Structure 1
Amino acid sequence: MMNQIIAYFETLDPVLAAFYATLFTWGLTALGASLVFFFKKMNRMLFDGMLGFTGGVMVAASFWSLLAPGIEMSPGEGFEKTIPAVVGFGLGALFIFGLDKILPHLHVNFNTTEKEGIKTPWHKSILLVLAITLHNIPEGLAVGVLFGGAAAGFEGASIAGAVALAIGIGLQNFPEGFAVAMPLRGQGFSRRKSFNYGQLSAIVEPVAAVLGAWAVMTFQPILPYALSFAAGAMIFVVVEEVVPESQQSKYTDVSTLGFIGGFMVMMTLDVGLG
């Protein structure tokens, strides 16, 4: 089954392949958000474990799917070979840092007084959706860049690796949809409205994926930088948002074990398929 999926993606235009792959990740976000129709409240221990899982997947994907291939395909030897990875990684982190300072948002599990970005009277629900949307920008970009690099024939980038990355991101998107929808339900929103906001948080992924694939196909020499850029953006999100969100209650050990589990799952997917 998996071989058939990979073979199918190999026949597609890379931009279209990236779009389809991130429609899958968006769909799993919607599936997670749909839990709001079946549960009245959120189990905090399970929620923190899923947040930890999300962080583990993102960290593992940053290395196995992005940084390692980016370094492998970089020219030169020794320190020279790491230059694209270092530059791209730093720029990716700075990009999300800039968005974090500008885009109004509120992290899950934080009080309204702890909202970030420019001051705005926007409702807490909008700020929660924007926070998860910020998570999803580097994820969509990473999938698109990897599909573009594989199609361009760069050593270290493969369609199988891109599919593995999409599967891993999809798995951790499931709790992200849940993470938006359930708190909104707790604030008094209807189930339908909570679901709509939850799934909407991932709409940016197909857009970022298409842009990433197009950029790499058009400007092929930027691929090592682009892979590392996506990795830096993802690591920034994990350290600045995902991990702190998972450490706000008494279930810190559960979230830590979730992180380890997510790392193991993503590493297995990437090495096994890529």
Structure 2
Amino acid sequence: MQYISSLSPVMQTLLATFFTWGMTALGAALVFTTKKVNQKLMDGMLGFAGGVMIAASFWSLLAPALSMAESGPFPSWFPAAVGFMSGGLFLWGVDKVIPHLHPNTPRAEAEGIQPYKRHRSTLLVLAITMHNIPEGLAVGVAFGSVATGNPEASIAGATALAIGMGIQNFPEGTAVSMPLRRDGLSRWKSFYYGQLSGVVEPIAALIGVAAVTLMQPLLPFALSFAAGAMIFVVAEEVIPGSQENGNKDLASMWLMIGFTIMMILDVALG
């Protein structure tokens, strides 16, 4: 932890998001060992990812935003409320515009503008890529808030967030590579497209760290924005996707396990 503290905010952010990208690639690499992952395992992993994201949204993002806003010019709830809703609305808009296809969904149910003109592999990668934007942004904002010297932020807390995001990226990489393998793509191509969805996280993270270090008054809004975007992803895709195959109880319990682990990580390290 002392070594991480000695690095610049940009290097801290890049290291953290290279880890989350690596976890996406690790999940995608399962395609080299099997052509099909047990559906109960996948649903449990998705439920776990949802729990991690929900816990991170509150403990790592919303709670610090509320504390930071107490010394600002607005009521403490205002930046959190505006940022949270803005994050959700942003992802809703992106969801309507960018062509994409959720894993395990028929090609006919692709969403966005003119999705029928895109290959299935491209649509799958775009779906997970959209979901990785708020995760990368959240990590960048967390490390950026540490760089501002805000007492509510800590290296340990930002690191805990990165670890949590990395853990939940594992099933996302698998969720892209496995359907592509079943569709007939080679193992290497399936892996390539699976890990490719994680490339956006370092980019989004750098945008986040730059925004909050250059415009410190925006920090509570930025933290809340990332939280709102992540909750939209959980509600719109992760939870429904984990339960659509009938494993509702299993997915729900793993969601609670993921929430608990992320809560412990954040509270213990932050």
Give 4+ residue runs of structure 1 displaced > 2 Å after superposition: none
Whole-angstrom CA distance in 1 between matches of 2:7 and 2:83: 28
Counting matched residue pairs gives 268
TM-score by length of 1: 0.95
Q: Please, which of 103, 112, 119 is the counterpart of residue 108 of structure 1?
A: 103
- 1:151 is displaced (CA, Å) by 1.3
Pick the aligned partner of 1:61 from 56, 63, 68: 56
Amino-acid identity (%) = 61
Structure 1, 65-74 or 101-110: larger mean CA deviation: 101-110
1:51 equivalent among 31, 43, 46: 46
Show the counterpart of 2:37: 42
Q: Provide the C-alpha distance between the structure 2 equivalents of 1:9 and 1:151, rounded to a whole number of angstroms.
A: 12
The alpha-carbon deviation at position 75 of structure 1 amounts to: 3.0
> Distance between the aligned counterparts of 2:176 and 2:249, measured in 1?
22
Deviation at 1:80, TM superposition (A): 1.2
For 2:138 and 2:132, the matched residues in 1 are separated by 10
- Write the letter of the residue equivalent to 1:59: I
Identify the residue that residue 114 of structure 2 maps to in structure 1: 119
- Could you state the TM-score of these two structures normalised by the residue count of structure 2? 0.97
Cα distance in 1, alignment partners of residues 79 and 65 from structure 2: 8
Aligned partners of 1:37, 1:256: CA distance in 2, in Å? 29
Question: Match of 1:72?
Answer: 67
After superposition, the CA RMSD in angstroms is 1.2
Instruction: State the distance in 1 between where 2:49 and 2:173 align.
Output: 11
For the pair 1:264 / 2:260, whether they are aligned, the reply is: yes
Deviations 1:124-162 (A, max 9, x none): 221111111111000000000010101111121111100
Query: Is 1:171 the counterpart of 2:170 in the alignment?
Result: no
Match runs of 1:211-226 below 5 Å: 211-226=207-222
Partners of 1:37 and 1:191 within 8 A in 2: yes
Aligned amino acid, residue 254 of structure 2 = G
2:241 is aligned with 1:241: no
The equivalent of 1:181 in structure 2 is 177
Q: Unpaired runs of 5+ in structure 2?
A: none
Deviation at 1:40, TM superposition (A): 2.1
Residue of structure 2 aligned with 1:253, choices 219, 237, 249:
249
Q: 1:205 aligns with which of 201, 204, 209?
A: 201
**Equivalent residues in 2 for 1:124-139, closer than 5 Å:** 124-139=120-135
Distance 1:206 1:76 in 2: 31
What does the per-residue CA deviation read over 1:234-274, in whole Å, with 9 as the maximum and x for residues that have no partner? 00010011111112112121111111111011101100100
Q: Secondary structure at the match of 1:109?
A: coil
Residue aligning to 2:152: 156
DSSP-derived class of the 2:35 partner: coil
Residue 16 of structure 2 is aligned to residue 21 of structure 1 = yes
Q: What is the letter of the counterpart of residue 32 of structure 1?
A: G
In the alignment, does 2:84 pair up with 1:94? no
CA contact (8 A) 1:66 1:228 kept: yes
Q: Which residue of 1 aligns with 2:269?
A: 273
Distance in structure 2 (CA, Å) of the matches to 1:8 and 1:66 = 24
Q: Which moved more, 1:103-112 or 1:27-36?
A: 103-112
Partner of 1:3: none
Contact in 2 for aligned 1:16/1:210 (Cα 8 Å)? no
> 1: CA distance between counterparts of 2:204 and 2:71?
30
Q: What is the distance in 1 between the residues matched to 2:127 and 2:69?
A: 33
8 A Cα contact 1:146 1:227, kept in partner: yes
Q: Give 1:76 shift.
A: 5.1
Give SS of 1:73's match. Answer: helix
Determine if the alignment matches structure 1 residue 12 to structure 2 residue 24: no
Deviates more, 1:257-266 or 1:107-116: 107-116
Moved more, 37-46 or 223-232: 37-46
Shift of 1:109: 2.3
Residue segments in structure 1 that go unaligned for 5+ positions in a row: 1-5
1:40-60 residue CA offsets vs partner (Å, 9 max, x unmatched):
212101001011111111000
Query: What SS is found at the alignment partner of 1:80?
Result: coil
Supply the AA of the counterpart residue of 1:147: F
